[in-house]
Structure 1
């Protein structure tokens, strides 16, 4: 079935909060030499990690990841920083410790730190109302608008649904950051304010604007000058647009047409950099982890931020439901508590508190994990959309430092992947079984064409071209595809960009006179990244439907 190899982007990483990521790739891999950076007085690896290179290469092979970079810090020292495999399939350049990857939502911790630093300077309070700094800010509910605090922007408890509003910048759109935030007033709420956890990215766009308003600097300048420079992250960049030819940069990879692993062009997210824009190497991320584990202190003893600020960032604001592992092999991962602080997930493993985050980007996913009481940190950056890979590597490292016996996490995550693939097949089979194959469209094909308007996204155009319907999102260059009849007044749109893995059903509702009243969309696969929030669109005809016919 074509749905077997859907691989989610995990933009906000909610899918990785399940104890296994939903679905990843099959089992071919590129091979390449490993590359490491030696450090003076580098501590020895634990005995359980003496075969670590072979283990990581096995992970790459199992989950079809061209390149992985790993850094481990312990007690303020770098234990390991090393690359494995290739920057890009078909090219000889290896991944090394200085290879930059998109760290995606691991950026959120930098945004949280920036706000806390501004609070320490007295330029804001984390309990200030957002409208104190952005008077024009609006949510769809006046109460939420009035009561939204700076801290709430970082905690995923606003009442928005999972990934709500992500289509305003994912895939890249032509909206500015301010235009994205201004459109929030039309994004519907799914729950009451502060009542439930639901991962979002759009409120980090609001946080980005608050940082700029209060500091008088662009977000990029603030992060570069106030965080990267003092930490020593000399190679890190705030956004893809800062990449230059010849830089040591990994290329992302995804499954095209659900089977073939191919490079994914870099994506700029300049209208929401605070949610996930940063590019960094494990060499730089090791420095960031050491600052975090030192309570905000820099190597020279000065404070980047205070211990009190860190306690706030690492304190649970939003409890999260604890799910059962999807397969028995992952039973050991079930936490006793789970929640979100300010830009960090909080949970436990084998009796140790974890402070961690994941990140997902087109062709790249990553994980940063801190064990504060052990002064231990591990970062895993990858150039394929395989959460299974970075989890298998992370938990091998954690077990080694916790003195646990070796566990075959590669096999455990492979079992979870297999189950997720089976669930995807089952979902598709249900769609097929429910489909009335003889249920032809009610109207002539040309009648489904027109411009349709959603209050928060804007216009989506459907035209008839060469006897087929074509859908185009007006602000998103990548969302262009062909609509084919599915059943009755429902179509399936297949995007021209086959790396998106986000085909969707498009359902028309007609009024009593057979005129189009509304259009709704939903992803075809349950494994489509949640940032394709098609289900939140409420499309209505922007004007009388017109037929746009080309030969």
Structure 2
């Protein structure tokens, strides 16, 4: 399908003052993209699409969908775009608000929740509105591990909110939070009377002709989805369990969209063409559409690795809109958003004033967003008609020749030889936290502990620090999600609580010990 797709676009496109055809653009970038993917073996598969003036300029797949089958990626292969889903969630909610004369982005969150709803502070409960959710002004951390709780639903999440602690004063900072968009997801469901997935399909996918796009939260078939990979021991590719992908997508508006290069090009054109559908009709009124891209919250820091004088050209974020970041590149205004989840790394960049858009999504990890930035800077320069500051050689050697090194994390091999500070049986029990619910610590055999939280479990291994452990992921988490900061607390020599710092590092939840007995379900096996 890929050659046909490029061939069907015969009109030349004006880029950087020059007429550029799809075949010419492909000639500029295709060989480089192949070389760059080969020198980044941690990323087995890549999809790329580029739009200009409402047309699809380029859509190709690179690499393989599965390291065990070597099936090639095409422009129809689905990838999970993670947090790039937030723009869909914001667009849906703003579209829904148009139908209600008594609602707006300034409607209080509490007015759309069940009676008695509240945040952890009175000022938030009384004043937080839908804009605060979509623009991340609440200063509530993501608390993403809540998703593993078997009892959690989109509806009852609101009952946990009084116990979610803020990390900054209200409306004084940008604290990016998946939790916000979990609430946005539920509010859309309440307004629309259907699941978020059905609403997105009806309100956005169908009018835009995004016929292949679906959701990690609901799809029964992953056969058309590129397998996500994390870096395991020895940088080995570890496939991400479909069960983990599906469970992590419960907060659908924050991360669940599965799409391909062809469909996502339609989404880019929708945002570049003032919110018009495939028939040229506006899906939102002009005022509502403007809300989506307008700056609503200041972002005070620029990307650490892609700024002058470290590199020749700065890529900057300046503010957060609704599911988008505003910024600039080479003096041009951009809208963009990253998406990162287990096994997938995505980035979208729009140049609204130039009617240009670039989308990439890849399997594998991309720590610090390095490869995504490299690809987008290279592709953008080719679109802008300027000499790219990057090429295949420098994208493979980066950060050389500009600076010496970047610190990357590596798979941590757990030391299994350390002895615990006290008999393991003293840690066994049921622990409770008002926001998270129950954590259960059980004995498995006579020589180690297991920590269970909902559908997630970790085998615990003592650390050298007193009453501290690290957890080795079990089942769907094996070699994918270990937790390295677990601290038990004691009083009068007895264990009274466990603090799981990894669950939310800037506001760690503490679980109070409710029972010292081995849970019956564990005893029975």
Match of 2:67 among 80, 85, 89: 89
Name 1:37's counterpart in structure 2: 5
Alpha-carbon separation, structure 2, partners of 1:385 and 1:54: 22
Q: How does 1:107-506 map to 2 (within 5 A)?
A: 107-122=85-100, 124-136=103-115, 137-161=117-141, 163=142, 165-169=143-147, 173-244=150-221, 247-266=223-242, 267-268=245-246, 269-323=248-302, 325-326=304-305, 331-335=311-315, 338-386=318-366, 387-408=369-390, 411=394, 415-416=398-399, 422=407, 424=409, 441-477=420-456, 479-496=457-474, 497-506=477-486
Residues 540 and 93 (structure 1), Cα distance of their counterparts in 2 relative to 1, 3 Å cut: same
Alpha-carbon separation, structure 1, partners of 2:486 and 2:504: 14
Residues 441 and 487, structure 1, Cα contact 8 Å, conserved in 2 = no
In the superposition, the TM-score normalised over structure 2's length comes to: 0.86
Alpha-carbon separation, structure 2, partners of 1:405 and 1:252: 34
Residues 76 and 375, structure 1, Cα contact 8 Å, conserved in 2 = yes
Name 1:30's counterpart in structure 2: none
Match of 2:53 among 75, 80, 83: 75
* Superimposed CA distance per residue, residues 117-169 of structure 1 (whole angstroms, 9 cap, x where no aligned partner): 112222631111112221343211122012111111111110213x3x21111
**Aligned with 1:312: secondary structure?**
helix
Gaps of 5+ in 1: 1-32, 524-530
Of 490-499 and 177-186, more deviation after overlay is shown by: 490-499
Alpha-carbon separation, structure 1, partners of 2:405 and 2:481: 15
Residues 175 and 271, structure 1, Cα contact 8 Å, conserved in 2 = no
Alpha-carbon separation, structure 1, partners of 2:312 and 2:329: 8
Of 334-343 and 269-278, more deviation after overlay is shown by: 334-343
Alpha-carbon separation, structure 1, partners of 2:232 and 2:146: 24
Residues 40 and 396, structure 2, Cα contact 8 Å, conserved in 1 = no
**Aligned with 1:487: secondary structure?**
coil
Q: Which has the higher contact order (CA 8 A, sep 6+)?
A: 1
| Deviation of the 1:90 alpha carbon | 2.3
* Superimposed CA distance per residue, residues 375-422 of structure 1 (whole angstroms, 9 cap, x where no aligned partner): 000110112222333322211111112232222366357545997764
* Superimposed CA distance per residue, residues 47-71 of structure 1 (whole angstroms, 9 cap, x where no aligned partner): 6762422211222122222111111
Residues 244 and 172 (structure 1), Cα distance of their counterparts in 2 relative to 1, 3 Å cut: farther
Alpha-carbon separation, structure 1, partners of 2:11 and 2:261: 16
In the superposition, the TM-score normalised over structure 1's length comes to: 0.82
Alpha-carbon separation, structure 2, partners of 1:106 and 1:79: 21
Of 265-274 and 194-203, more deviation after overlay is shown by: 265-274
Alpha-carbon separation, structure 2, partners of 1:243 and 1:307: 37
Of 200-209 and 57-66, more deviation after overlay is shown by: 57-66
Residues 468 and 483, structure 1, Cα contact 8 Å, conserved in 2 = no
Match of 1:521 among 500, 504, 512: 500
Gaps of 5+ in 2: 13-20
Alpha-carbon separation, structure 2, partners of 1:150 and 1:401: 36
Of 272-281 and 335-344, more deviation after overlay is shown by: 335-344
Residues 57 and 330 (structure 1), Cα distance of their counterparts in 2 relative to 1, 3 Å cut: farther
| Deviation of the 1:308 alpha carbon | 2.1
Residues 230 and 534 (structure 1), Cα distance of their counterparts in 2 relative to 1, 3 Å cut: same
Residues 466 and 550 (structure 1), Cα distance of their counterparts in 2 relative to 1, 3 Å cut: farther
Alpha-carbon separation, structure 2, partners of 1:471 and 1:94: 40
Residues 407 and 533 (structure 1), Cα distance of their counterparts in 2 relative to 1, 3 Å cut: same
Alpha-carbon separation, structure 1, partners of 2:121 and 2:58: 49
**Aligned with 1:367: secondary structure?**
strand
Of 384-393 and 205-214, more deviation after overlay is shown by: 384-393
Match of 1:106 among 72, 80, 84: 84
